[in-house]
Amino acid sequence: MAEAATLPDPQTIAAEHGDALLGIVGRTIDSGIAKGKPPQVALQSFAPALQAPGASFVTIEKAGALRGCIGSLQAHRPLIEDLVQNAFSAAFKDPRFPPVSAEERPALAWSISLLSQPEEMAGLKDEADLLARLEPGADGVILAEGARRATFLPQVWEQIPDPRDFIGRLKLKAGLSPVHWSAQMRVWRYGVVKIG
């Protein structure tokens, strides 16, 4: 995983721009329904912190059930562009769900997760070492081996509070056995600030 640029503080962005960002997600969904594409982003019209590179996830729910979730693990484009693209993809391109329809729109709710820069958990001896270093409820985790990669946002701890089960299911998501371990496996942790 390449080093990400230094990210603006997610907590500050959430406090200063959270409501505006939630509104942009709603407008992106509306644009997708009406025009089949996300709205154009006039980058210079946004605050400098939103023009800086950032990584986000957008989660859409309907009646409390997941309806779409897409995001970026690394800051590779301006945060506002990342947010718009991920909002559009969560609503219309999540392969687990059909595209959002106009009829569903009033029943949808969404949240945004702003990610801190992932930090590699270097020098892991084995899975017991990984489990001992994790902070359940706080750490988002990225796991990779070769071309296989998966992540769980910190919110997933609410459904999977046991660290061994959490990591086992993350391995399954990456296409690995839940008991797999190798010296080639790499693990990163990150924090998120949730808006909405």
Identify the band that residue 9 occupies on the pLDDT scale cut at 50, 70 and 90.
confident
Cα–Cα distance, 112 to 101 (Å, whole number)? 20
Cα–Cα distance, 6 to 50 (Å, whole number)? 13
Structure confidence by residue, pLDDT tens digits, 18-72: 999 999 999 999 999 999 999 999 999 999 999 999 999 999 999 999 999 999 9
Structure confidence by residue, pLDDT tens digits, 81-139: 999 999 999 999 999 999 999 999 999 999 999 998 899 999 999 999 999 999 999 99
Identify the band that residue 2 occupies on the pLDDT scale cut at 50, 70 and 90.
very low
Query: What residue segments make up the domains of the chain, in order of their start?
Result: 10-115, 119-195
Task: Check if CATH label 3.30.700.20 holds for domain 10-115.
Answer: yes
- In three-state secondary structure terms, 12 is helix
Tell me, what amino acid is at 2?
Answer: A
Identify the band that residue 73 occupies on the pLDDT scale cut at 50, 70 and 90.
confident
Identify the band that residue 74 occupies on the pLDDT scale cut at 50, 70 and 90.
confident
Tell me, what amino acid is at 154?
Answer: P
Structure confidence by residue, pLDDT tens digits, 153-184: 998 999 999 999 999 999 999 999 999 999 89
pTM here is 0.83
Long-range CB contact pairs, 88-94, < 8 A, 24+: 88/28, 88/29, 88/31, 88/32, 88/37, 88/38, 89/58, 90/58, 90/59, 90/60, 91/28, 91/29, 91/32, 91/60, 92/32, 92/68, 94/68, 94/69, 94/70
Cα–Cα distance, 147 to 155 (Å, whole number)? 25
Give one word for 160, left, alpha or beta, with left for phi > 0 and alpha for psi -120 to 50.
Answer: beta
Percent of residues, the chain, with pLDDT higher than 70: 96
pLDDT of 5: 44
pLDDT of 31: 97
Is the per-residue pLDDT at 4 higher than 50? no
In 3D space, the residue among 111, 68, 74 whose CA is nearest the CA of residue 88 turns out to be: 68
pLDDT of 84: 98
The CATH fold assigned to 119-195 is: Dna Ligase; domain 1 (3.30.1490)
